[in-house]
Structure 1
């Protein structure tokens, strides 16, 4: 029960990774605000069929938590709209009287090769992933800053959701990769800015079988046979998220963790590598050999997914 009595918001918690996170937080004693709009895989509202209406999708996870003896409330606010994000934070405060953890997870896909990618498809993915991380983080941060300035102790956590696509790139996912890379940058800035108020901010880059991945990686993400470890079960990711949301993780901030199955890797991202200083402005005609020398000393980049 490492999160006993902590109040947690999980966005996109109606299905997939978000649902797994919400359930695991509840198992570990947390009170959970289950946020989900109930949209289709590509983000359209009223998807129908298995997508279901918005309220039903969020309420189903909340009811599952209550059935196991936990406490949860469903929320259908649009986290990529300022008023929706503000209302989401208010829901936690009104229902449970506090907020300790924000898990930004909501998202959808509009995959296209760059030359086929429309402006609307670019904007839609940027909105839900990047803006949908920024706005809940902003409003939760405003609350925690006010608490800290009022002299009330804050021991809060934010866990953002990036992706291997954001860290390494993914062919056919220029919009998604750019948004997920932006989330890493946002995580680093938020960790630096909010630490003074008692808030840690980290990100995960998970690999799991969800609606967003089952078509792209059907062959490698199929469920295993009976009795075998299912490395692609979304629930494998949740223990790390819950630990990052606990009091135990107070010393960890500004980090990105890749997680798949039972493997956890601390991603190191951009670091300064080989360098040269000519002491004055370079002559472009001289740069070729110098750049070649630097690249020869540098680590080779990881391959882009799908390349």
Structure 2
């Protein structure tokens, strides 16, 4: 029986460990040819090695799949361009891009220096933009050449980007930016046969091991490891397949066996005076509106 990604060529960034590795293995199991990208840095972005990417590519190959490794820095234009070129050169096409790479430098805002801000925003937000930009340019060229595309992009946001997270101002801002980038990309690239969605996953990885220190496997769940990265991958594979036709510009939360469609900013209660408010009148109107408005979700770390 063929998998739902049979014959598709898939790039996964940050695929040397954690969620990215799980995604790469899951795509390969569904018949995809996988480009495994990982810079091989430490948790805070230091160093670098091609060993993690090669290890996952070798794991896929040993299991009978097809994969190549790419250890370029996708937060540079040259690295992102070489990543797309690697897929096309090796397999003749590109069908799916999964943006997943990232690291953490957590600090409270008053202790967060400019380098920590720039490094995290660079790898998460710029590291999403550049591969997406080069992949979209490829799909646009293919479409204009008369070769219709069934292309997919899956971006990786976070609950921190949707609700905020104490001690993670840099990470939360970058992940919120990824949601906005997803919405814009879905609208702009639809004409080229591209669908763009995002996930906000919760799983045990290097970045979350202190938060999810235990497996959360319980006898009543048959020993199910609720925080295993592989729990998130089935949704990512489906979003990266042709089967998800018509689903674009959406954000999904994925954790354990749960999938949630996240609903973003929408107009709530409103007041229109028909002319300019005084400051006191504006304040009174706001207080009346807030009584009728839904309470925002709590920022992570506040309770």
CA distance in structure 1 between the aligned counterparts of 2:250 and 2:194, rounded to whole angstroms:
13
> How much is the aligned-residue C-alpha RMSD, in angstroms?
1.0
- Residue 288 of structure 2 is aligned to residue 293 of structure 1: yes
**Secondary structure of the residue that 2:35 maps to in structure 1?**
strand
What residue number does 1:80 align with? 75
- Residue 233 of structure 2 is aligned to residue 238 of structure 1: yes
What residue number does 2:253 align with? 258
- Aligned pairs (5 A) from 1:1-307: 1-46=3-48, 54-218=49-213, 221-224=214-217, 227-307=222-302
**Secondary structure of the residue that 2:72 maps to in structure 1?**
coil
Deviation at 1:98, TM superposition (A): 0.1
* Contact 2:215-2:228 at 8 Å conserved across structures: no
CA distance in structure 2 between the aligned counterparts of 1:44 and 1:216, rounded to whole angstroms:
22
* Contact 2:215-2:226 at 8 Å conserved across structures: no
* Contact 2:23-2:233 at 8 Å conserved across structures: yes
CA distance in structure 1 between the aligned counterparts of 2:218 and 2:21, rounded to whole angstroms:
23
What residue number does 1:49 align with? none
Deviations 1:113-134 (A, max 9, x none): 0000010000000000000000
Deviations 1:170-214 (A, max 9, x none): 100000000000000000000000001100000000000000000
CA distance in structure 2 between the aligned counterparts of 1:76 and 1:215, rounded to whole angstroms:
27
Deviation at 1:223, TM superposition (A): 4.9
Count of matched residue positions in the alignment of Structure 1 and Structure 2 = 298
- With the length of structure 1 as denominator, give the TM-score of the two structures: 0.95
Bigger shift: 145-154 or 97-106?
Answer: 145-154
**Secondary structure of the residue that 1:206 maps to in structure 2?**
strand
In structure 2, runs of 5+ residues without a counterpart are: none
Deviation at 1:215, TM superposition (A): 1.7
Deviations 1:95-120 (A, max 9, x none): 00000000000000000000000100
Q: Which runs of 4+ in 1 moved over 6 A?
A: none
* Contact 2:154-2:239 at 8 Å conserved across structures: yes
- With the length of structure 2 as denominator, give the TM-score of the two structures: 0.97
